[in-house]
C-alpha cells in the first residue's frame, strides 16, 4: 500500500482548443485533507470530473489506491471507495431528503428487481437499517425537520448539505468535495468543518476539497494545492500559499494580496 491514495500524472483535458486541464500532476497522501484552490475557470472542477470518471481524459493517467482508474466510469469508482460531490448541487429533486440518502448504499438487495418483488421481508429488514443510518445523517446535517420534503424544494445551501450527507452514507476512502461550503451559513460551515475533521480522524477518510473560502481552507487543509490555467502552480501549507508571489499574482493580478474572506 503506497503512501499516496491518489496520484495524478500529466493529466490533460481539452475542450476543442481550450486546455481546461493541462499536464497536471498531483499526489494526495493518505489521511490528509488536501485543499485545492485557484481562480475561477482554473480547471478545478474539470480535474474532479476527470478523476471521478465524469469526463474522458485527453491524456495522462490517474492512480487511486494503487490501481489505474483513468477513464473508469464513475459508478465503478463508488464501490472502490471514491466518492464525490458536485459544485452545482445534483440532488434527486423528486425524491425526499431521506430517500436521497437511502438510495446511496451500494449492493442493496432491494435494488435487484426480483428480490424487491419476491423477497419483501429481506428488503424490509435492510431498509430499516438504511433508514436508521439516513436519519442519523439527516440529524447531523440539521435537516431533520425536512426529512420528508422533496429535495428539489430545498434551498441552495441545504442541497449542498445533502450532497455532503450522501458521502456519509457509506464508508469511503477518498471523498472529493467541490465547494461544499459555498452557500452554507457560517455556523453550519463550522459544523461541516468539524464533521469533515471527524470523518477524517475517526474513519480515516481522505478528503480533497475545492474551496474558495480561505478561512475554511486554512482551518482544515494541509497541504493546499493552487491551480491556475489547468495546472498546478503551487503546493504547500496555506500560510506559505498566502505569501507566495506567483499565487498572489495568479489570483488577483500583480501587487495584491489574498484577503481572508470574512
- The 10 Å Cβ neighbour count of residue 38 is 24
38 DSSP 8-state letter: -
Name which of other proteins, Mg ion, ligand ATP, none residue 113 binds, using a CB cut-off of 5 to 8 Å depending on partner kind: other proteins
Residue 215: CB minimum distance to other proteins, A: 28
Residue 92 lies near other proteins (rule: CB under 8 A): yes
Candidate ranges 26-34, 43-51, 168-176, 185-193; the one touching Mg ion (CB under 5 A)? 43-51
Residue 15 lies near ligand ATP (rule: CB under 6 A): yes
Q: How many whole angstroms separate alpha carbon 142 and alpha carbon 173?
A: 25
181: left (phi over 0), alpha (psi -120 to 50) or beta: alpha
Three cell numbers, residue 35: 485543499
Q: Which residue's C-alpha cell is 472542477?
A: 45
Residue 19 lies near other proteins (rule: CB under 8 A): no
Task: Give CA torsion, residues 122, 127, 133, 137, to 10 deg.
Answer: 160
Q: Which is nearer to other proteins, 199 or 214 (CB)?
A: 199
Convert residues 17-36 into a mask of x (bound to ligand ATP by CB under 6 A) and - (unbound). -x-x----------------
Give me the half-sphere count of Cα atoms (radius 13 Å) on the Cβ side of residue 63. Answer: 17
Residue of 208, 175, 183, 215 lying closest to 83 (CA atoms): 175
Residue 38 lies near ligand ATP (rule: CB under 6 A): yes
Interface residues toward ligand ATP, by CB under 6 A = 15, 18, 20, 38, 40-46, 87
Interface residues toward Mg ion, by CB under 5 A = 45, 87
Interface residues toward other proteins, by CB under 8 A = 52-54, 73-75, 78-79, 83-84, 86, 90-96, 99-100, 102-104, 106, 108, 110-113, 116-117, 123, 126-127, 148, 150, 166
Amino acid at each position: 500500500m503506497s503512501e499516496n491514495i491518489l496520484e495524478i500524472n500529466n493529466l490533460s483535458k481539452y475542450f476543442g482548443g481550450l486546455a481546461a486541464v493541462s499536464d497536471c500532476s498531483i499526489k494526495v497522501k493518505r489521511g490528509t485533507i488536501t485543499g485545492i484552490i485557484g481562480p475561477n475557470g482554473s480547471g478545478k472542477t474539470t480535474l474532479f470530473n476527470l478523476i471521478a470518471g465524469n469526463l474522458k481524459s485527453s491524456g495522462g493517467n490517474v492512480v487511486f489506491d494503487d490501481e489505474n482508474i483513468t477513464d473508469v466510469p464513475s459508478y465503478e469508482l463508488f464501490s472502490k471507495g471514491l466518492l464525490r460531490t458536485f459544485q452545482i448541487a445534483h440532488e434527486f429533486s423528486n425524491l425526499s431528503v431521506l430517500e436521497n440518502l437511502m438510495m446511496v448504499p451500494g449492493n442493496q438487495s432491494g435494488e435487484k428487481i426480483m428480490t424487491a418483488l419476491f423477497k419483501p421481508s429481506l428488503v424490509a429488514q435492510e431498509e430499516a437499517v438504511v433508514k436508521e443510518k439516513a436519519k442519523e445523517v439527516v440529524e447531523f446535517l440539521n435537516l431533520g425537520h425536512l426529512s420528508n420534503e422533496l429535495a428539489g424544494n430545498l434551498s441552495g445551501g441545504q442541497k449542498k448539505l445533502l450532497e455532503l450527507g450522501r458521502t456519509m452514507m457509506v464508508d469511503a476512502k477518498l471523498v472529493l468535495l467541490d465547494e461544499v461550503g459555498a452557500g452554507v451559513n457560517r455556523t453550519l460551515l463550522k459544523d461541516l468543518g468539524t464533521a469533515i475533521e471527524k470523518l477524517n480522524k475517526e474513519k480515516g477518510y481522505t478528503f480533497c476539497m475545492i474551496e474558495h473560502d480561505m478561512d475554511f481552507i486554512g482551518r482544515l487543509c494541509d497541504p493546499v494545492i493552487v491551480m491556475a490555467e489547468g495546472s498546478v502552480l503551487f503546493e504547500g501549507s496555506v500560510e506559505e500559499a498566502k505569501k507566495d508571489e506567483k499565487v498572489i499574482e495568479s489570483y488577483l493580478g500583480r501587487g495584491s494580496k489574498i484577503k481572508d474572506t470574512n
